[in-house]
């Protein structure tokens, strides 16, 4: 894991963004084990809203708005296919 080298190689890193909450939980645990202050910098951010994020100390930042992700993805796909926003009613 690259986290142990972070204090030397990236002391100005503001956040560690993880692909999922379980991964972020591991990063948070490792950061604490090597003495990083994760209550300020770096912040650890997860993704997915997994139940494990509720039990982390300090709290794990995590959020997912699945509806918005779906709407934005649909809009992007329609735009790529050439459908304009005004064509929605047709």
pTM, full prediction: 0.64
Sign of the CA dihedral 32, 34, 35, 36? negative
Confidence band for 2, pLDDT divided at 50, 70 and 90: confident
The count of other CB atoms within 10 Å of the CB of residue 42 is 21
Domains of the chain are 10-89 (3.40.50.2300)
pLDDT of 47 strictly over 60 = yes
Q: Considering just the CA atoms, what is the radius of gyration of the chain in Å? A: 18
Between residues 82 and 42, the one the model is more confident about: 82
**Interior CA angle at 58 toward 45 and 27, to 5°?**
45
| HSE value, Cβ hemisphere, 13 Å, CA-based, for 37 | 5
């Amino acid at each position: 894991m690259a986290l142990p080298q972070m204090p030397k190689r990236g002391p100005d890193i503001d956040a560690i963004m993880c692909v999922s909450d379980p991964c972020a939980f591991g990063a948070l645990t490792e950061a604490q084990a090597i003495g990083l202050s994760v209550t300020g910098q770096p912040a650890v951010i997860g993704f997915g809203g997994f139940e494990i994020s509720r039990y982390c100390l300090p709290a794990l930042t995590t959020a997912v708005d699945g509806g918005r992700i779906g709407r934005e993805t649909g809009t992007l796909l329609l735009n790529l296919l050439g459908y304009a926003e005004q064509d929605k009613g047709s």
